[in-house]
Chain A
Amino acid sequence: MILDSRIPDGPIEEKWRIWKDHHELVGPRRRADHVIAVIGTGLAGSSAASTLAGMGYTVEAFCFQDSARRAHSIAAQGGINATKDYSNDGDSVQRLFADTMKGGDFRAREGNVWRLAELSTAIIDQAVAQGVPFNREYGGLLATRSFGGVLVERTFYVRGQTGQQLLLGAYSALSRQVKEGRVRMHTRHELLDIVICDGRARGVVVRDLVTGEIRPFPADAVVLATGGYSNVYFLSTNAMGCNVTAVWRAYKRGAGFANPCFTQIHPTCIPQTAEHQSKLTLMSESLRNDGRVWVPRRPEEGREPNDIPETERYYFLEEMYPRYGNLVPRDVASRAAKHVCDDGLGVGPTGRGVYMDFRDAIAQRGGREIEARYGNLFELYDQITGESPWDVPMRIYPAPHYSMGGLWVDYTLQTTIPGLFAIGESNFSDHGANRLGASAMMQCLADGYFVVPHTVTDYLARLEEPHADPGHPAFAQTRTVVEERLARLLAIDGRTPTSHFHRELGKLLIDTCGISRDGAKLKRALHEIPSIRERFWADVKVGGDSVSLNQSLEYAGRVADFLELGELMCRDAVARDESCGCHLREEHQTEGGEPVRDDEQFAHVAVWEHAGSDVPAERRVEPLEFNELKPKQRSYV
């Protein structure tokens, strides 16, 4: 496996311009003959599909939901970063770049991160032109707010539902291309494999989730925009359908999987309450702008939160990190919450929760302003818990939320399989070991609107054989592989439902490969996961058939992939014998619980190469170079 990042030469602020000035072009008249498959219709997929179609390409777009608009980007709440510097606090591309590199604890690639920061402003311009109704200041200019891990206000937002509005903007652009006939939209279709012809990605095999029909789709290039894999933990903030299947098929077909252990546990989620709970709900990080996080100073505090006087409240983030206070990065806030709960100070029925209190903000800013900023989030919290944040402090606890790891891609967002591109959360590229708030939507849309349309063009222009050959034997072969796998799942006919195995895997992973990890625990997980997997393949009960709608079959296929991914995450976590960002190895931390990096040995991307079903995956590395910003110990104190 060759890991050539293909970063163009030249000063960092010129790299993207240089690349764009020199890439190959496809003439307007030839574009419609090229078919590009785009998998997933979230922010990355919708923006890529609509832009490629707008350029004139023919796009086959797929999503497993019943409408492209329902992809899980819709649930992103807080906002999107851009270096407009409207608030005049000295923001610049350089600063967003530096914040992202530092936030990611120096485990991201400089060239990609710079490009992301550079493109951020164009995203806002694009979204506004689509009619995305961003919040406005008095006088009608765009409003901004600050987010964790930064000292400037650069986050644009639409109430607490920025993701919904940005996605509906991209979805409307996609809808226009569907109407124009340049996008063929396939809803309720799930990718089950990727077709490789002579070393290149030349199509996909999908299953129609209503009829069960398995169908190969030839394509000249394939773009995966299939999101992250936090659902490997069973309980996460992801939607029920979020899965790793497309990414995992790509990995099994030879694409490198980068940094699988880099998963983010988001600090502000509603704590688990019920035994049969199926998911956790995020409360936007933007709440930390005004909410003060605290626990009682006394363990086993019996009083109601409002009865606890100021002196007996431990505002632990403000005390531990006076400079950033409640706005420290997510990994830091999550670990701090875990530590105070480990010390017995946690609140709520399970003792795994901390307060986030708006009392002071309401007194200082007034109820109306707080209502305008967070009204819908307060309502959401009230609906789920039956408690009103206007009267009592919210209770929050960290929950799996985002995966920084994903398919390895080069500067052109191409995986190690030529013709297979990965964008948005499905790739690994820009966030290093920890993603800052309001950066996910920025990356998805930068990839989809502004990067991949150019890089796919360059790829297509250079092809000797421009078009996929639908008669290639790989299409029939791949289809057979898919059909056999489904048949195998159905044939087990055991006694245990899929959810049982998923829950067991999730519990094991959150304990061993969650907020903190240590070598011994990880080894235990590595021992146990194969046995869960074996039991799954021996005893799962799926039911139904593969030739009609069968949600149990869809779920079983996804969990089968999680059972393999979980093991790779733990292997990656063992191999990365340092702490960085969200990856806290307990063996490597300061006395204050801060991660201690080992730049000598681990300033690299770990890329796993599938070596065959009976052989362990091989770990390769892409060394990271730091020319613009020298790595230093992160400090948010």
Chain B
Amino acid sequence: MNFTLRVWRQDEPGSDGRFETYEVTDAASDDSLLEVMDGLNDRLTVEGERPIAFDNDCREGICGACSMTIDGRPHGPGGGTTTCQLYMRQFDDGATITVEPFRARAFPVIRDLIVDRSALDRIQQAGGYTGVNAGPKPEPNSNPVGPEEAESAIDAAICIGCGACVAACPNGAAMLFTGAKISHLGHLPQGQPGRYTRVQDMVEQMDGEGFGGCTNFGECEAACPKEISIRVIGQLNRDFLVGVLYHPRNPRGGMKPQ
């Protein structure tokens, strides 16, 4: 199969980027798009050109490293998959394929297709955990979790932190990502202590990082490679509201100086 790749090239953060066009011939239908790009990069290297920089690692859709917008869609056509799970058989022979980085204000481009998603780590650091250290713990079966609750927790916990939801959202919101963590811990007894503080801390960090707010476009759910439901944003909003109203972080009522 033959393809034309239109790839975003950008030397460094803040510099002007541009699309470059590359012809690819003799790709097999079972090659993945990233394998085609590997081959292209080998060719560019030998020709003395700078190869295309892109993040990738596990190549089985679980690490969340790959972060490309293919033909205008984060992770490309198909749905329910990551960029590394795209195979050439999903494209028409002779097609022109446009490859860009995830675009969002909170994800500055580092080079070419590589973006800085460390803002997602900082949201997690703001409160996405239970406060336990290693050491003796209670017997887990003393605290049963109904299978339905466990399933709901897993449905949210499977987020791979790739940031496609942000790239797909017209507002550049990270609410599917943040909501997934809130929903995961909120469904489990271990997540109840600190539940309403956690949501306020994480939302504050999210806002501070320059992510937008949710206005119910639903693009995040459509782009999510793990098909996480927008319902988690509902839970985030609910927990946030309950938190702000009934569990303020400064229960003694201190006020910030104006």
Contact of B134 with A86 in the complex, beta carbons under 8 Å: no
Nearest A-chain residue to B159, judged by Cβ: A168
Closest Cβ–Cβ distance, residue A632 to chain B (whole Å): 36
* Minimum C-beta distance from A339 to chain B (A): 27
Would you call A131 and B51 a contact (CB within 8 A)?
no
Q: B85 at interface (Cβ–Cβ under 8 A)? A: yes
- Give Cα A115–Cα B121 distance, bound, in whole angstroms: 34
Q: Are A276 and B138 in contact (CB under 8 A)?
A: no
Bound Cα distance A493, B34 (Å): 25
Interface size class of A (residues with CB under 8 A): 35 or more
Query: Which residues of A sit under 8 angstroms from B161, Cβ to Cβ?
Result: 67, 69-70
From the candidates A65, A125, A133, name the one contacting B153 in the complex (CB within 8 A): A133
The residue that A70 contacts in the complex, of B28, B65, B114, B116, with Cβ under 8 A, is B65
Instruction: Tell me whether B105 is interfacial, beta carbon within 8 Å.
Output: no
- A386 interface residue (CB < 8 Å to B): yes
- Is A383 within 8 A of B58, CB to CB? no
Residues of A within 8 A of B58 (CB): 70, 72, 74-75, 239-240
Does A51 interact with chain B (Cβ within 8 Å)? yes
B254 at the interface (CB under 8 A from A): no
Contact assessment for A130 and B61 in the assembled complex, using a CB-CB cutoff below 8 Å: no
* A275 in contact with B45 given A72-B58, A176-B131 (CB within 8 Å): no
From A68, A125, A380, A386, contact of B138 by CB (8 A): A125
The contact string, 1 if C-beta is below 8 Å from chain A, for chain B 14-33, is 00000000000000101110
Residue with the highest number of chain B CB atoms closer than 10 Å, among A133, A379, A541: A133
- Of residues 487 to 504 in A, which have CB atoms within 8 Å of B's CB atoms? 495-497, 499-500
Interface residues of chain B: helix, strand, loop or mixed (majority): loop
B60 located at the interface, meaning its Cβ lies under 8 Å from any Cβ of chain A in the complex: yes
Shortest B91–chain A CB gap in Å is 14
Report how far A495 CA is from B47 CA in the complex, Å.
Answer: 9
Closest to A178 in B: B125
CA distance A450 to B185 in the complex (A): 24
B133 at the interface (CB under 8 A from A): yes
Minimum CB–CB distance for A162 against chain B, Å? 11
B214 proximity list for chain A (CB < 8 A)? none
Q: Knowing that A164-B158, A173-B129, A380-B60 are A-B contacts, what are 4 other residue pairs whose CB atoms are under 8 Å apart, sorted by A's residue number? A: A65-B65, A277-B31, A379-B80, A549-B114
Binding site for B on A (CB under 8 A): 47, 50-51, 54-55, 65-70, 72, 74-75, 86, 122, 124-126, 128-131, 133-142, 158-159, 161, 164-165, 168, 171-173, 175-176, 178-179, 185, 187, 210, 239-241, 273-279, 281-282, 379-380, 383-384, 386, 449-450, 453, 495-497, 499-500, 541-544, 548-549, 551-552
Top 6 nearest A-B pairs (CB, nearest first) are A140-B144, A172-B129, A125-B137, A54-B133, A128-B140, A133-B153
Q: Which residues of B contact A (CB under 8 A)?
A: 12, 28, 30-32, 34-36, 38-39, 41-42, 45-46, 48-51, 53, 55-65, 80-81, 85, 87, 89, 110-111, 114, 116-118, 120-121, 124-134, 136-141, 143-147, 149-150, 153-154, 157-158, 160-161, 184-185, 187-188, 190-191
A-B contact pairs, 6 of them (CB 8 A): A54-B133, A67-B121, A75-B63, A136-B145, A185-B121, A276-B28
